[in-house]
Chain A
Amino acid sequence: MTLEHRQNPPAEPARVVVLGSRGFIGAALVRDLQAAGIPTLAVASADLDLSAPDAAAALTALLRPEDTVVFLSALTPDKGRDIATSMRNLRMGEAVAAALQAQPVAHLVYISSDAVYPFESGLVSEATPAAPIDLYGAMHRTRELMMQQAFKGPLAVLRPTLVYGAADTHNSYGANRFRRMAQKDGKIVLGGKGEETRDHVLIDDLVAMIREVLRHRSHGTLNLVTGQSVTFDELARLVAGLFSPAAEVVHTPRQSPVTHRHFDSAARRRAFPEFRFTPLADGLRKVHREAIGGT
């Protein structure tokens, strides 16, 4: 099922509850909502630990029927790919599901991940079977199913691919790490020749897309992707060119096999025909300026 809109023409939500408000995406979303004057309840793990035994009751007390909930809280792979981390993420899902059953809301948006796809069969679309190959992907897929079972209102499952932005702390292989490598060492070291293709989304665009989903009270599944993939080598050269003098791009012996990620963005174009992504070169320049300026 791809994305459909319950609210057309779109309208701002009454209040947005952001679970996971201090993460990379959550913080950017909260800033955007507050700048737009939309009542926002930002909930971070420091305020409410969703993996704690009493989390469901505490969250239930915070929710109102007119709320839109954006469920972003997750321990990302850089915090651990082990069973314990996965189980803690599932406990968070369990608490949110229980709270939504006790206090249904107007709209639920679950921010999942493209890790639910196996990336073994070429082009991926919303119709591709979600068959995760690791615990992180399986955790997201399980939480998607938890939300579907617990919540009977409009539910949007959004699956972002690689996101880049100055405030990202994950340091995962891609634009953010390349920039840090270039800044620190004057060179970007690639595994092999950097032939692997990936789709990269600027955090501003990701937040704007989530906002559109909130405004349309959309339901269904949508991949948050541009539909344009580039190789890591192309990406590294774009990042390297932002420095003066330009950083060096260094190839090293390959440690792992080449894998590609291409997405079919037809569902996104159909759902939001007027939405435009920032071209990769422009997005990288913006992030570079923000990182240098410390904003």
Chain B
Amino acid sequence: MIGFAGMTHLGLVSGLAAAAKGEAVTAFDPDSDLVARLAQGRFPIDEPQLAEIWAAHRDRVRFTSQASDLAACGLIYVAPDVPTNDSGVSDLAPVERLLGIVGKAAAGRTRVLLSQVPPGFTRALGDPSIYYQVETLVFGRAFERALEPERFILGCADPAQPLPPACRGFLERFGCPILPMRYESAELAKIAINCCLAASVTVANTLAGLAENVGADWSEIVPTLRLDRRIGPHAYLTPGLGLSGGNIERDLATVTRMADATGADAASIRAMLSNSRYRKDWPLRRYGELVGDRITHARLALWGLAYKENTHSTKNSPALAFLAGLGPSVVRAYDPLVAADARYHPGILQAKDPLDACRDADALAILTPWPEFRRVAPRDVAAAMKGRVVLDPYRLLDPEACRAAGLQQAVLGAP
């Protein structure tokens, strides 16, 4: 039996994925109300495959708010949420708290810390029966990655020692490489992955921005890079609105802070953060040029509030950054999972669907690439709107159809 402590997004997905692999799972959280809701299948997260996995494997999952139930588990994953502040600094108190509860209830059991911690954290706990596993959660694709990981990265007090049988046995169920290494290497490996992702994102966004100014079209360039073996078919090359979600930015902030403290150069990482901030303001700049400089108190339709598709999370969302700088406009917003809230903008109104948001709008901004937005016909958008401007950074609407409908579509990566 495998225990999972902390019914967070990470803990829930990991626990249900373990059940899907045939393990009996004890899922613990100190919040008894949350546990009661989970036992009824009422989950606080939205992920593709969630309902199907729960329906197929619920008999192998037992939710509990009694930490003592973990004592029967040979292996316990600990996955609390780690909040970060506006500067990307993690609050590690929840990690220490939950490790303390689990350590007391299941002394001597192999525990694996799954939440991300900065280099040096796990060794400082001074307990070699605790391991650190690099989490691979991607919002909106969480189960896909939890069920078919590329590899496991496992931080150990001493990587020369064999892994505990319960741990090795569980990980081998997934049929992918297992990479044991010292704690510090694993902790830094997670950051290194995010830095490489940030590099791809930053290169794509920087060059897409240049394309907008020099008459090039970034979408024509991407295939040339995909065909280059040195860059690879899966590189992040689609331009976006900076780095969102918070996790990658947290790691970049960690690198600059640690480099400052240790006397290392982190100028390139600072440049990524700077570029991200600049690109996040793309909607504000384009809206200002195309609408704000021409129309007083414009009425705006907004599609999308989440930071990306298939998630309810709004952390570092470009849409919210845009709303914060918008001024006294009326905004009719629609997002499949996030409700319009006055915290986001004092003039925000809830629309019942995408076309309802467009009613009499001077402009439309599509700031989350939800798949359902692709299915809306540009001619219907044009018919509902008063104005013609569509900020569509991700090119969700077909450019030809937009032109035919008389819409002025502003996209990332093209003039």
Residues of A near any B CB (own CB < 8 A): 123, 125, 127, 227, 264-266, 269-270, 273-274, 276-277
Contact pick for A274, options B277, B284, B324, B327, CB 8 Å: B327
B220 within 8 A of A: no
Given contacts A227-B285, A269-B285, A270-B284, contact A127 B328 (CB under 8 A): no
Q: How far is B284's CA from A127's CA once the two chains are assembled, in angstroms? A: 17
B274 within 8 A of A: yes
The 13 listed contacts between A and B (C-beta, < 8 Å) are A123-B278, A125-B278, A127-B274, A227-B288, A264-B281, A265-B288, A266-B281, A273-B292, A273-B325, A273-B327, A274-B292, A276-B292, A276-B293
B327 touches A266 (CB 8 A): no
Contact pick for B278, options A264, A270, A276, CB 8 Å: A264
Q: How far is B282's CA from A227's CA once the two chains are assembled, in angstroms? A: 13
B85 within 8 A of A: no
How many residues of chain B have a CB within 8 Å of chain A?
17
Name which residue of chain B comes closest to A276, CB basis.
B293
Q: How far is B325's CA from A269's CA once the two chains are assembled, in angstroms? A: 7
B326 within 8 A of A: yes
Residues of B near any A CB (own CB < 8 A): 274, 277-278, 281, 284-285, 288, 292-293, 296-297, 324-329
Which residues of A lie under 8 Å from residue B325 when comparing CB positions?
A: 266, 269-270, 273
Given contacts A274-B327, A276-B293, contact A269 B278 (CB under 8 A): no
B296 touches A265 (CB 8 A): no
Known pairs A127-B277, A270-B324, A270-B325. 10 more at Cβ < 8 A? Answer: A264-B285, A265-B285, A269-B288, A270-B284, A273-B327, A273-B329, A274-B292, A274-B297, A274-B327, A276-B293
Which residues of A lie under 8 Å from residue B328 when comparing CB positions?
A: 273-274
Name which residue of chain B comes closest to A268, CB basis.
B288
Closest 7 CB pairs of A and B: A273-B327, A270-B325, A266-B281, A269-B288, A276-B293, A274-B327, A269-B284
Q: How far is B222's CA from A193's CA once the two chains are assembled, in angstroms? A: 35
Which residues of B lie under 8 Å from residue A277 when comparing CB positions?
A: 293
A269 touches B292 (CB 8 A): yes
Q: How far is B293's CA from A266's CA once the two chains are assembled, in angstroms? A: 13
Q: How far is B278's CA from A123's CA once the two chains are assembled, in angstroms? A: 10
B296 touches A266 (CB 8 A): no
Which residues of A lie under 8 Å from residue B329 when comparing CB positions?
A: 273
Name which residue of chain A comes closest to B285, CB basis.
A266
Q: How far is B292's CA from A227's CA once the two chains are assembled, in angstroms? A: 14
Q: How far is B325's CA from A224's CA once the two chains are assembled, in angstroms? A: 17
Which residues of A lie under 8 Å from residue B277 when comparing CB positions?
A: 127
A17 to B: closest C-beta gap in Å: 30
Which residues of A lie under 8 Å from residue B288 when comparing CB positions?
A: 227, 265, 269, 273
Name which residue of chain B comes closest to A128, CB basis.
B274
Name which residue of chain B comes closest to A271, CB basis.
B325
A208 to B: closest C-beta gap in Å: 14
Q: How far is B293's CA from A146's CA once the two chains are assembled, in angstroms? A: 36
Q: How far is B247's CA from A285's CA once the two chains are assembled, in angstroms? A: 51
Which residues of A lie under 8 Å from residue B292 when comparing CB positions?
A: 269, 273-274, 276
